[in-house]
């Protein structure tokens, strides 16, 4: 088991390095840098001025060197010109002369956001906690809901309950967040329909989340994932219900409720666990869409802002965090699967 | 002119619809609750030896649900038929269903032909044994026919997708067209209202279907070509090839999709030509696939093999070169042989959607190949001395078709959702494009005051994806019965 986890961690680290390098390469392509120079300094710069601006700030180095600097394994380049000294470690509050030599991700330094004029790490920290709160409620609604729907549907395959609930799950998986969000706002929050039960924006939920301003974003994300997990649970449940030991229990005269609760449920919940874990990358998508629709300024909203405004350092920081969330959930799902399922032994 | 109401003179039907929906809702809820407590349905043995389920309370609810569902379907059919006959007298719904008349005719022809010959049509025919599959197929074909009639003849939409009639800005559904010369030949109403730029919402929704129906299935086919061409060897050979390919597939899968879109589908990236290079690599896979497919089968018969290979690969190569060759991108060398150009935005969108989908297809195909390669018929082919690519493409692939067809339907739906996501974030296609994602994005800005410009494309997208999912479900059910 220990060796298995170590090997998985190794692969995970390699994947993380590759992914961050790809993101780094794509965000540091010359057209992006040119746009950055023009937005930061002067929109009417000539091509030579752009190159000079980028050169003094170390942007024109080899991409591997730049990546090493960003990662924090290479010292960042210090350029001294008549306009002053430049290094990627300096900030408005830290003079270039006093800046440390290494300032990369490994030192906990994610860079400086050009849009929000703040440390990337502190922006991500606050935004991530807001999104974490949203995700917590999504999970609290989605997981129990999906498991109940899935187990009820899978209990008796082909029954009326099964068909009704399966249709429900199909409908929710066919409704992406930007469709359900729009429909919910139009029905429950617009003056055109006039119900006005909930608020159409969740901006106020960032300070004080109430049922009125937080329910719609939560249910919008939860519904899309709910159908998928419910279908997986149903498939797993129907498989367990046809197993030999369930038939033995039935023939022994155990009541149906007892069979479901005591014999089938535990084995049926192994597969959904993996699915729920692997659902995180999808939820990340949902979070970006829903935070944009409901104007909830969390992690996903930051991603859109960073990408839309060419904020390279912030976009890199956001990517690192999301890639690590995805890889971590994959690891947990692998280990959890082995741990929960005694039939699988990793040696 | 008077603005149209929703149902016009057919409005008495609304009460019937409302009543039937209420009864259905109550019936379904009762069914769910009673199913929790009830034991198995008591069975009665008839004198001739057959079994019959006794009615009782549950039997009654089942009947009620069935009949109320049929009533709803009946009312909807009445709306459509009445609308086709009465047109604008039957309100907005009537006028809309009259515009869709060619689609209804095509649907009726398709269904009646398929139902008649369903026993000779294999898995496709079996689809017509499952109600779920039929509903899904109907929804999908509705949009396919709409896109076809609109794309080829332009006979569904009432106005041009980009036409702005200034007085119609944000007008409610059914508003009569004002401020234009009555003899100019404009359709008399904006059936589903006007959007923020005074364009007809109904026409934009219809022309948006052309873009979606054009891109989504093609992108899925390409993703399948890539996934199959790489997944079969990975599963069949295993070993280091499998490790490397799986690593790359997992690499792409670990990317959050939206991040990937934001990195790939920006105007800056398009300047560097990366999407064009990716297209050059990804579009190579169909050529490789068909080349190997033909060569592995006719390897021993050069008199068929050579002309077939030359013909197929020749045509594919010309199409391939014209596709990747674009003026103003790094790949631009063909000059006059360049048959057609794809608008830059569409190519980028297409490539990124294929790129996102192919790793998942790769994993599915690899898993299927791993399973099937242990079968006896594969061992028999190996003993016969067949080459590895013959076994992969002519033994393993045909036997994996069931799950692949089901996944294909689901994946078209997922691709449609991805396209919508791209449009929703304003990536790729130009902002005035009528595709559904972009229209939703534009409409949501005034959502709380004028919901109709966003709701209409949202419902259209929902119905297409739902249709594809139901179709996949029906196909899975029917293919499992074999």
Q: How far is A182 from chain B, CA to nearest CA, in Å?
A: 7
The secondary structure of B399-423, three-state, reads HCHHHHHHHHHHHHHHHHHHHHHHH
Displacement of CA B109 from its chain's centroid (Å): 21
Cβ of B447 within 8 Å of Cβ of A200? The answer is: yes
pLDDT at site B341: 66
Burial zone of A36 (CB within 10 Å; 0-12 exposed, 13-18 middle, 19+ buried): buried
pLDDT band at B119 (very low <50, low <70, confident <90, very high): confident
DSSP 8-state assignment for residue B377: H
Cβ of A190 within 8 Å of Cβ of B459? The answer is: no
Question: How far apart are the C-alpha atoms of A105 and A72, rounded to whole Å?
Answer: 6
Question: How far apart are the C-alpha atoms of B296 and B148, rounded to whole Å?
Answer: 36
Task: Report pTM.
Answer: 0.91
pLDDT band at A345 (very low <50, low <70, confident <90, very high): low
**Stretch 12-41 of chain A: residues touching chain B, C-beta under 8 Å:** 15, 18-19, 23, 26-27, 29-32, 35
Minimum Cα–Cα distance from B477: chain A residue = A158
Q: How far is A74 from chain B, CA to nearest CA, in Å?
A: 25
Checking if the pLDDT of B62 tops 70, the result is yes
Minimum Cα–Cα distance from A27: chain B residue = B263
Q: Which residues of A126-161 are buried (b: 16+ CB within 10 A; e: fewer)?
A: ebbebbebbbebbbebbbebbbebbbbbbbbeebbb
A-to-B residue pairs, Cβ atoms closer than 8 angstroms: 153
Cβ of A303 within 8 Å of Cβ of B259? The answer is: yes
| Count of beta carbons in the 10 Å neighbourhood of residue B102 | 16
Question: How far apart are the C-alpha atoms of B213 and A24, rounded to whole Å?
Answer: 35
Cβ of A193 within 8 Å of Cβ of B258? The answer is: no
pLDDT at site A262: 87
Minimum Cα–Cα distance from B24: chain A residue = A164
Q: How far is A285 from chain B, CA to nearest CA, in Å?
A: 6
**Stretch 294-333 of chain A: residues touching chain B, C-beta under 8 Å:** 300, 303-304, 307, 310, 315, 318-319, 322-323, 326-327, 330
Q: Give B-chain residues touching A18 at CB under 8 angstroms.
A: 251
Cβ of B465 within 8 Å of Cβ of A175? The answer is: yes
User: Is residue A102 within 8 angstroms of chain B, CB to CB?
Assistant: no
Task: Please name the member of B263, B447, B468 whose beta carbon is closest to the beta carbon of A182.
Answer: B447
Q: Which residues of A88-117 are buried (b: 16+ CB within 10 A; e: fewer)?
A: bbbbeeeebeebeebbbbeeebbbbbbbbe
Task: Please name the member of B28, B425, B455 whose beta carbon is closest to the beta carbon of A182.
Answer: B455
pLDDT tens digits along B370-419 = 989 899 999 999 999 888 999 999 999 999 888 899 999 999 999 999 99
User: Is residue B6 within 8 angstroms of chain A, CB to CB?
Assistant: no
pLDDT at site B288: 93
User: Is residue A248 within 8 angstroms of chain B, CB to CB?
Assistant: no
User: Is residue A192 within 8 angstroms of chain B, CB to CB?
Assistant: yes
Q: Look at residue B158 and give its three-state secondary structure.
A: coil
Task: Tell me which range, B5-14, B110-119, B183-192, is most confidently predicted by mean pLDDT.
Answer: B110-119
User: Is residue A261 within 8 angstroms of chain B, CB to CB?
Assistant: no
In contact, A181 and A216? CB cutoff 8 Å: yes
Minimum Cα–Cα distance from B39: chain A residue = A256
Question: How far apart are the C-alpha atoms of A198 and B352, rounded to whole Å?
Answer: 37
Checking if the pLDDT of B202 tops 80, the result is yes
**Stretch 220-259 of chain B: residues touching chain A, C-beta under 8 Å:** 247, 250-251, 253-259
Looking at per-residue pLDDT, the higher value among B359 and B177 belongs to: B359
pLDDT tens digits along B416-465 = 999 999 999 988 888 888 889 999 998 888 888 888 899 999 999 999 99
Average pLDDT over residues B67-85: 91
User: Is residue B184 within 8 angstroms of chain A, CB to CB?
Assistant: no
């Amino acid at each position: 088991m220990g060796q298995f986890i170590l090997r998985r961690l190794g692969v995970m680290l390699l994947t993380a390095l590759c992914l961050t390098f790809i993101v780094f390469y794509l965000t540091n392509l010359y057209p992006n840098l040119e746009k950055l120079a023009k937005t930061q300094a002067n929109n009417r710069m000539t091509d030579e001025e752009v190159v000079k601006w980028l050169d003094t700030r170390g942007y024109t180095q080899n991409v591997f060197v730049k990546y090493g600097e960003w990662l924090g394994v290479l010292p960042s380049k210090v350029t001294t010109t008549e306009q002053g000294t430049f290094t990627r470690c300096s900030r408005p509050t830290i003079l270039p002369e006093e800046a440390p030599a290494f300032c990369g991700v490994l030192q906990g330094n994610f860079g400086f956001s050009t849009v929000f004029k703040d440390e990337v790490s502190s922006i991500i920290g606050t935004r991530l906690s807001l999104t974490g709160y949203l995700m917590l409620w999504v999970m609290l609604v989605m997981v129990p809901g999906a498991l109940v729907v899935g187990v009820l549907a899978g209990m008796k395959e082909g029954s009326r309950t099964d068909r009704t609930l399966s249709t429900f799950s199909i409908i929710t998986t066919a409704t992406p967040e930007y469709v359900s969000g729009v429909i919910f706002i139009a029905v429950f929050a617009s003056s055109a329909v006039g119900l006005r039960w909930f608020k159409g924006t969740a901006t106020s939920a960032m300070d004080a989340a109430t049922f009125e301003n937080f329910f719609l974003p939560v249910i919008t994300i939860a519904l899309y994932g709910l159908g998928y997990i419910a279908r997986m649970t149903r498939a797993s449940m129907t498989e367990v219900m046809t197993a030999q030991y369930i038939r033995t229990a039935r023939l022994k005269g155990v009541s149906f409720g007892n069979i479901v609760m005591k014999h089938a449920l535990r084995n049926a919940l192994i597969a959904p666990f993996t699915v729920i874990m692997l659902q995180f990358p999808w939820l990340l998508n949902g979070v970006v869409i829903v935070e944009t629709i409901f104007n909830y300024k969390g992690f996903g909203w930051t991603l859109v802002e960073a990408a839309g405004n060419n904020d390279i350092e912030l976009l890199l920081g956001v990517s690192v965090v999301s890639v690590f969330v995805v890889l971590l959930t994959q690891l947990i799902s692998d280990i959890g699967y082995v741990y929960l399922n005694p039939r699988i032994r990793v040696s | 002119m008077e603005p149209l109401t929703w149902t016009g003179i057919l409005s008495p039907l609304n009460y019937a619809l409302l009543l039937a929906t209420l009864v259905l809702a109550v019936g379904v809820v009762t069914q769910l609750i009673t199913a929790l407590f009830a034991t198995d349905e008591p069975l009665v043995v008839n004198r001739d030896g057959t079994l019959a389920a006794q009615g009782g309370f549950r039997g009654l609810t089942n009947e009620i649900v069935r009949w109320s569902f049929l009533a709803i379907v009946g009312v909807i059919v009445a709306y459509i038929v009445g609308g086709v006959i009465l047109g604008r007298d039957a309100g907005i719904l009537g006028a809309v269903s009259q515009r869709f008349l060619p689609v209804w005719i095509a649907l009726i022809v398709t269904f009646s032909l398929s139902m008649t010959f369903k026993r000779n049509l294999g898995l496709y025919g079996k689809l017509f044994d499952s109600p779920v599959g039929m509903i899904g197929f109907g929804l999908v074909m509705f949009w396919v026919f709409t896109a076809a009639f609109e794309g080829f003849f332009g006979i569904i939409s009432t106005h041009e997708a980009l036409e702005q009639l200034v007085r119609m800005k944000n007008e409610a559904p059914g508003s009569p067209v004002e401020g234009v010369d009555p003899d100019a030949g404009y359709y008399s109403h904006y059936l589903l209202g006007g959007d923020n730029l005074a364009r007809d919402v109904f026409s934009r929704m219809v022309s948006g279907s052309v873009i979606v129906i054009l891109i989504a299935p093609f992108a899925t086919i390409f993703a399948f070509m890539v996934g199959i061409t790489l997944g079969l060897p990975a599963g069949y050979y295993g070993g280091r090839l499998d490790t490397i390919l799986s690593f790359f597939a997992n690499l792409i899968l670990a990317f959050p999709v939206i991040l990937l879109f934001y990195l790939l589908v920006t105007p800056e990236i398009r300047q560097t030509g990366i999407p064009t290079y990716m297209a050059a690599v990804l579009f190579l896979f169909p050529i490789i696939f068909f080349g190997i497919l033909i060569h592995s089968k006719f390897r021993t018969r050069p008199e068929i093999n050579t002309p077939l290979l030359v013909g197929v690969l020749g045509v594919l190569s010309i199409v391939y070169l014209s596709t990747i060759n674009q003026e103003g991108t790094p790949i631009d060398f063909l000059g006059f042989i360049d048959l057609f150009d794809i608008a830059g935005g569409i190519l980028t969108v297409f490539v990124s959607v294929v790129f996102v989908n192919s790793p998942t297809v790769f994993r599915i195909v690899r898993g299927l190949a791993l399973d099937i390669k242990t079968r006896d018929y594969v061992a028999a082919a190996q003993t016969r001395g067949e080459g590895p690519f013959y076994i992969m493409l002519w033994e393993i692939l045909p036997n994996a078709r069931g799950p692949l067809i089901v996944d294909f339907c689901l994946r078209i739906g997922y691709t449609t959702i991805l396209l919508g996501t791209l449009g929703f974030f304003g990536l790729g296609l130009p902002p005035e494009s009528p595709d559904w994602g972009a229209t939703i994005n534009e409409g949501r800005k005034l959502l709380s005051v004028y919901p109709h410009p966003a709701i209409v494309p949202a419902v259209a997208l929902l119905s297409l994806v739902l249709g594809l999912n139901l179709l996949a479900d029906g196909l899975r059910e029917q293919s499992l019965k074999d």
